[in-house]
Structure formats: C-alpha cells, structure tokens
Amino acid sequence: MKLKQIMQLLSARPLTDVVDEELEISCACASDMMSDVLAFPKEHMILLTGLVNHQVMRTCDMLDIRAVCFTRGKLPTAEALEMANEDGISVIATDLTMFIASGKLYAGGMNNGTIG
C-alpha cells in the first residue's frame, strides 16, 4: 500500500516539508511505547503513535522507519518535526484515534501488522 492510500484512508494531512506519497508501506505498528516499537520492528513499516516527542524520530531513524502518522489530532513537538525534516521521514497526522486508524488500515488491506 502506498502512503498516499494511507493518507486517504485516514483523512491524514502532511506535516513535514516533504511527504513521499509514493512510499511503499507493507505493515503498521501502533504504539506510544518506543520500547515496544524497538522490540517488534519490520521493514517498510509505518508507525502510528500519540507520543509527540523527538524520541519518536530517533526511534524511526534507528529502525529505518520512513513514515509516521500522529493520531487523535496530536502534533509532534517542533524538535521532533525538525528532526523528521532533516532525516527525510514523512510525517502525517489524522484526527482519528489510534484504534480507529488501525482498524481503517486493517480493513483497507494492511493486515501484516505488528502491534506494540
């Protein structure tokens, strides 16, 4: 599934200067605990989270996660967004809760998930 489709399914808006809508995403991880994200990494993964600090981007950098979606209308801190822009991570945001956003992705065909 491309990031563009994810943005449509979640009615998500872009937050970083560049959002690679053609990015191929094959699974999702929904968690506020970066410890859990680090324990269950997969390739071509999008991270759904409500944690807004810059350690989210640091975790993505370590795991080569190229896309992050903030849920429930939460927005990353300025430091987090700056780090995402520097590292070329595509960041989007949705007003949906993490549960509903996960459900929409699953129903939309992304059932190769990893749950923290």
Partner 1 sequence: MSILKEEFPVAAMDFVTAGEASAQIKRMLKKLGVDPGVIRRLAIACYEAEINLVIHSDGGKLMLELNPDNVTLISEDVGPGIPDIDLAMSEGYSTASDDVRMMGFGAGMGLANMARNADHFNIESIVGEGTKIEMVFDIK
- Minimum Å gap between C-beta 50 and partner 1 is 10
Shortest distance in whole angstroms from residue 88 CB to partner 1: 14
Q: Which residue, 11 or 53, has its beta carbon nearer to partner 1?
A: 53
Nearer to partner 1, 8 or 53 (CB): 53
> Least separation, in Å, of the C-beta of 65 and partner 1?
11
DSSP per-residue codes, 25-93: --EEEE-S-HHHHHHS--TTEEEEE---STHHHHHHHHHT--EEEE-TT----HHHHHHHHHHT-EEEE
Q: Is the Cβ of residue 9 or residue 30 nearer to partner 1 in the bound state?
A: 30
Sign, CA torsion 73/77/78/82: negative
Q: Which residues bind partner 1 (CB under 8 A)?
A: 32-36, 38-39, 41, 51, 53, 55-56, 58-59, 61-64
Record the tokens describing residue 72, joined without a space: 């429930």
